[in-house]
Amino acid sequence: MHRSSLLYVSTAQDDLTARARLRDAAIEAFAAQGFDESLRAIAARAQVTAGLVRHHFGSKQALRAECDATVLERYRRLKEESLRVNPGQVLNHLPTSRESGVLLLYILRSAREGAQAGRQFTEQLINEALALLDQAVSSGLIVPSRNEPARARYLILQSLGALVLYFALYPPKDPEDFSTVVKDYYGQIALPTLELYTEGLFADPGYLNEYLASDAAHIPPAGSAGDTVSR
- Reported as a single tens digit per residue, the pLDDT across 39-80 is 999 999 988 888 888 889 989 999 999 999 999 999 888 888
Query: CATH number, domain at 16?
Result: 1.10.10
* 67 and 2 in a common domain: no
Please tell me the pTM assigned to this model: 0.75
* 34 and 73 in a common domain: no
* 209 and 188 in a common domain: yes
**Cα separations (Å) of 120 from 71, 93, 219?**
13, 29, 24
- 8 Å CB contact between 133 and 142: yes
How far is the C-alpha of 130 from the C-alpha of 108, rounded, in Å? 19
Each residue's pLDDT tens digit, 182-195: 888 988 998 999 99
Closest CA to 175 of 61, 68, 48, 34: 34
* 198 and 131 in a common domain: yes
Last residue of a domain, one of 10, 36, 58: 58
**Which positions ≥6 away from 117 have C-beta within 8 Å?**
35, 64, 68, 110
Query: CATH number, domain at 75?
Result: 1.10.357.10
* 84 and 184 in a common domain: yes
* 152 and 72 in a common domain: yes
* 51 and 68 in a common domain: no
Q: Which helix (H) or strand (E) holds 164?
A: helix 148-169
**Which positions ≥6 away from 104 have C-beta within 8 Å?**
31, 95, 163, 178, 181, 182, 185
* 164 and 125 in a common domain: yes
* 150 and 93 in a common domain: yes
* 16 and 88 in a common domain: no
How far is the C-alpha of 231 from the C-alpha of 53, rounded, in Å? 50
Each residue's pLDDT tens digit, 79-118: 888 777 676 555 555 556 788 888 889 998 988 887 777 8
Structurally, the chain folds into a number of domains equal to 2
* 74 and 39 in a common domain: no
Domain residue limits at 29: 1-58
